[in-house]
Structure 1
């Protein structure tokens, strides 16, 4: 039996996720930013450019252009989880929740620890009136990134909607 070599990026991500688990809030924000930077690296300058253009379009509130650039990245690099994630954001903003969920499922198939994808999934469920599923997705995100402020706020909001509060 043999084992495949682990890439440097995978090793770095594993290390960062281990650090994130027990980090204090300020340190957790820094580590999460480093994880997000690693996720944004496709290994291809062309795919990185498409991702950057997709991000720029999202920031400019041009969802059509964002979907176009990110779809091109996905077509050429279907294993690039961050392209799927950002396209899900564009779909969510266009209120295409089914498409957003499909992309988020792809992200999680590629990177099950993608706390932002889990948060996004929770937001889709919240927007579509499925509070229990939203709560579960937010809890899964928080288990990976305990100090994700948006997740903590979302958990409080959904818990109130469900008629209770977390202790």
Structure 2
């Protein structure tokens, strides 16, 4: 059965509305989780953090979500080249999905490719300004590049979003001592 051009336009419009409605719902859920993270306790922050990681990994496409999953698994087992391939494919096919850039930045960093890693972390933050993982990643890279003031600034930004993450708090304390001239 052939459809008229008008029917096809209505179908495409309906599909686009469904996708944008899903994106708004996901953004609302992520907003609520970030709010909960601000009010979290030592007993609740890990659960909220895990829910945020889960939301970060949801693109709205099963194929893209599979690339996230495979990229993360490759990172976990130390197969950095495979992770880079998965996350690069994700960035190519879903350039507006922050987690593709975040995962690829981690792979680049592990390969010692700081320039591309920094670029991808910056793009992650353009797409998801509250991505505390990307902020912490920037801080780690700035420390590795012997830029403690910039590292501290990035950790402080991460702490503003995720105040109870112990590794962030510890890094801030360590860098403050270093910048004040104390021995670490």
TM-score over 0.5 for the alignment?
A: yes
Residue in 2 aligned with 1:29? 46
Residue in 1 aligned with 2:110? 93
Q: SS where residue 26 of structure 1 aligns? A: coil
Residue in 1 aligned with 2:146? 129
Residue in 2 aligned with 1:49? 66
1:60 maps onto 2:77 in alignment: yes
User: In structure 2, which of residues 4, 7, 26 is the aligned counterpart of residue 9 of structure 1?
Assistant: 26
Whole-angstrom distance in 1 between the partners of 2:88 and 2:126? 17
User: In structure 1, which of residues 65, 69, 91 is the aligned counterpart of residue 86 of structure 2?
Assistant: 69
Structure of higher CA gyration radius: 2
> Are the aligned partners of 1:87 and 1:103 in contact in 2 as well (CA < 8 Å)?
yes
Q: SS where residue 129 of structure 2 aligns? A: coil
Per-residue deviation, 1:65: 1.0
Per-residue deviation, 1:9: 0.5
Gaps of 5+ in 2: 1-19
User: In structure 1, which of residues 128, 138, 152 is the aligned counterpart of residue 155 of structure 2?
Assistant: 138
Per-residue deviation, 1:26: 2.2
Q: SS where residue 88 of structure 2 aligns? A: helix
Tell me the alpha carbon deviations over residues 96-149 of structure 1, each in whole angstroms, 9 at most, x when there is no partner: 111111000000000000011000000010000000000000000001100012
Q: SS where residue 25 of structure 1 aligns? A: coil
- RMSD value over aligned CA atoms? 1.5
Whole-angstrom distance in 2 between the partners of 1:48 and 1:30? 21
Per-residue deviation, 1:164: 5.5
Q: Using CA pairs below 8 Å that are at least 6 residues apart, which structure has the higher relative contact order?
A: 1
> Are the aligned partners of 1:9 and 1:38 in contact in 2 as well (CA < 8 Å)?
yes
Whole-angstrom distance in 1 between the partners of 2:103 and 2:43? 25
Deviant stretches of 4+, over 4 Å: none
Tell me the alpha carbon deviations over residues 49-101 of structure 1, each in whole angstroms, 9 at most, x when there is no partner: 11111111111111111101100011000111111111111111111111111
Gaps of 5+ in 1: none
Whole-angstrom distance in 1 between the partners of 2:123 and 2:171? 23
1:112 maps onto 2:116 in alignment: no
